[in-house]
Amino acid sequence: MYKIKLPVFEGPFDLLLYFIKRDELNIYDIPISKITEEFLEYIRIMKLLDLDLAGEFIVMSSTLMQIKSQMLLPRFEDENGDPIEDPRTELVQRLIEYKQIKDGAEELKVLEDKNRFFIDRENFSFEENLAKQSNDGINVGLFDLINALNKIIKRKSSETVSHNVKLFNYSIEEERENILKEIKIKKNLSFIKFLEQAPKQKIVVCFLAILDLVRLKEIIISQNDSYDDIIITQTHNFN
């Protein structure tokens, strides 16, 4: 299986925060059953793509299933008559602490970017910084991509399935060329529309080809706003 490694690491707490932000959930009252099912579904998709799956994801899935099972049990009181602690408490506390650290890091990054306009240290180059940002090739998270892919796979699963056994000869290299040809013609490609037009057996190969083109810095994938459609465009050095 063809393996893809992305330069930006996102861990299990990032995935939980992604769910909370996307569905506007109350971080102090997480619907464990729903979030556990979604977490396991994302792990299934990541395994399908053969993406490097950190051990922390497996530990988190076990933690969520344990909490889910505890939530199904009757609530008891301790010897003082006080209700036993909510099984979600420790997870919520760790999640809040992680979010605080992540938000703090983002605020420091914003301050650093602002200071570039005021402090010149000889090696200061606004144009160079912009060029580096534009060459990153991605301003959407891995979970946004998996979310979009999961929607497409679910839609394809509802279609009529043929039981004829066929060998499908799809390759990453061939699909990379097809994507680049499409971009030459259309300039901008909708991630969802592009993958939806592919046969179900070809979707994963197309997805991996897109990730590989990002890694090679031949395309850029972006969103105008959170959870919008993902747009694929060419990089400046692409001919």
Closest to 2 in 3D by CA, of 150, 221, 168, 204: 204
Q: Which of 99, 124, 149 is the last residue of a domain?
A: 124
Boundaries of domain holding 23: 7-124
Q: Is residue 130 part of a domain?
A: no
Average confidence score pLDDT of the chain? 77
- Residue where a domain stops, chosen among 73, 96, 124: 124
Tell whether the model's pLDDT for residue 162 goes beyond 60.
no
Q: How many domains does the chain have?
A: 2
Are 204 and 236 part of one and the same domain?
yes
Tell me how far apart the alpha carbons of residues 50 and 8 are, in angstroms, rounded to a whole number: 16
Of the two residues 208 and 116, the one the predictor is more confident about is: 208
State the average pLDDT over residues 123-134: 47
pLDDT tens for 74-115 read 776 666 666 677 889 999 999 999 999 988 888 887 787 777
Give a yes or no: residue 19 inside a domain: yes
Q: Are residues 117 and 146 in the same domain?
A: no
Question: H/E element holding 62?
Answer: helix 55-72
* Neighbouring residues of 150: CB distance < 8 A, sequence distance ≥ 6: 41, 42, 45
Is the domain of 117 the same as that of 195? Answer: no
92 and 49, same structural domain?
yes
